Amino acid sequence: MTFFRQISPLIAALSLAMGASAAGAQQVVPGRLGIEANAKEDVDGACRVSFLATNGLDENLYKLSFEAVVFDKAGEAAQFTLLEFTELNKGAVRVRQFDLRGRSCDDVGQVVVNRTLTCEAVGLDPSACAQNLDVTSRISTNEVTEGQVAIELNRLESFEGSCRLTFVTRNGLSQPIAGMMAETVLFDPNGGVAKMTMFELGDVAAGQTRVRRYEVTGNACDGLGNVLINQWQTCEAGDLGEEACTAAITLSSRTALGLLD
């Protein structure tokens, strides 16, 4: 997958099966898959993050991996990376530890499990993991604001004459959002229309955060001005309806470019 090319990898350092007494203290919820960012510590020039996984599904998972995003303390999406859990049997509780090389824990803010990459088991629909996933954290606070769908233009990166835009969506609604998509206008620094395009922000579970990146080819970041959300094509939040979904949206930018509606 192309997003791994320029990203520092998250290297698995250790895998531990929890003892019976420790596992008994962790709740396996029937029908749910749980991932928790449990602890972090500085080890040999890296920040070691411990993740706890629980499998309440009816199947033994023989391959399980996620895309994760590490935010720095300033709130910028600093690193995309890979979490691999390999096997996770039915009813099991497992801990995996991963090292963020070259990064101290003091510089690690929120760690977001962004999306499910692989979820394989005999007779299991691959979408079942994403649909039944519960993500929690003991190492950072949840920055979702109740009742709001907060969309932030979080980061700009120039490369090879193009610009990569990183958007962060935080869903504070009580319902999951399905397939957010917006017609978007990119202006040049003088206010002229440089490009019109579609940005798909994707699915965002209730109370969760989703990070998406888009590459604007042929336009370096210093050749762009403001970004305008021209029209929401889709924004569906369960039985709340599209109107309630779009009414809850707030826009902001952490970059030199404005995000407007």
CATH number at residue 47: 2.60.40
The pLDDT assigned to 142 comes to 72
Task: Tell me, yes or no, whether 10 lies in a domain.
Answer: yes
Residue that terminates a domain, selected from 89, 105, 137: 137
Looking at the fold, whether 156 and 253 belong to one and the same domain comes out as yes
Looking at the fold, whether 14 and 60 belong to one and the same domain comes out as yes
Task: Tell me, yes or no, whether 142 lies in a domain.
Answer: no
Number of domains in the chain: 2
Contact 148, 247 (CB under 8 A): no
Residue range of the domain that includes 37: 2-137
Task: Tell me, yes or no, whether 72 lies in a domain.
Answer: yes
The pLDDT assigned to 239 comes to 87
Question: Tokens 């970059």 label which residue?
Answer: 255
Task: Tell me, yes or no, whether 226 lies in a domain.
Answer: yes
Q: Which two tokens stand for residue 156?
A: 């700009």
Residue that terminates a domain, selected from 102, 137, 172: 137
Helix (H, G, I), strand (E, B) or coil at 131: helix
Looking at the fold, whether 126 and 177 belong to one and the same domain comes out as no
Looking at the fold, whether 53 and 99 belong to one and the same domain comes out as yes
Nearest one of 208, 148, 141 to 173, comparing CA atoms: 148
Looking at the fold, whether 90 and 187 belong to one and the same domain comes out as no
Q: What is the pTM of this model?
A: 0.85
In angstroms, rounded to a whole number, what is the distance separating the alpha carbons of residues 239 and 201? Answer: 20
The pLDDT assigned to 10 comes to 37
Residue 33: CB atoms within 10 A of its CB come to 24
Strands of 133-137's sheet in order across: 11-17, 93-101, 46-55, 33-43, 133-137
Cα four-point dihedral sign 182, 154, 11, 96: negative
Residue that terminates a domain, selected from 85, 103, 137: 137
Question: Tokens 């309630």 label which residue?
Answer: 244
In angstroms, rounded to a whole number, what is the distance separating the alpha carbons of residues 165 and 188? Answer: 15
In angstroms, rounded to a whole number, what is the distance separating the alpha carbons of residues 32 and 131? Answer: 9
pLDDT one digit per residue (tens) for the chain, 261 residues = 333 222 233 333 333 333 333 444 468 999 999 999 999 999 999 999 999 999 999 999 999 999 999 999 999 999 998 999 888 999 999 999 999 998 999 999 999 999 999 999 998 887 888 889 999 999 987 789 999 999 999 999 998 889 999 999 999 999 999 889 999 999 999 999 999 999 999 899 999 999 999 999 988 999 999 999 999 999 999 888 888 999 999 999 999 999 999
